[in-house]
Structure 1
Amino acid sequence: MYAHNTHTVHTHTHTHTHTHTHTFCIAILVTTSH
């Protein structure tokens, strides 16, 4: 569920807001990396 939402958010947020994506991307990256 979270992974699916991440994929959509990552693409949508990338065009929506760059600053918000950067913070979100880092949080997701850390969670996915771990």
Structure 2
Amino acid sequence: MKKNFDFKQNDWNRTLTTAAADNLSIVCFPFKLKSP
């Protein structure tokens, strides 16, 4: 049971990390366009 919980926790962490990376790229995109 513990192992199953750890797997779900890791999957959730991966989802959060991916979402954070997507948000970061969306936020940084306009700055990349403005920079020469």
TM-score, normalised with respect to structure 1: 0.44
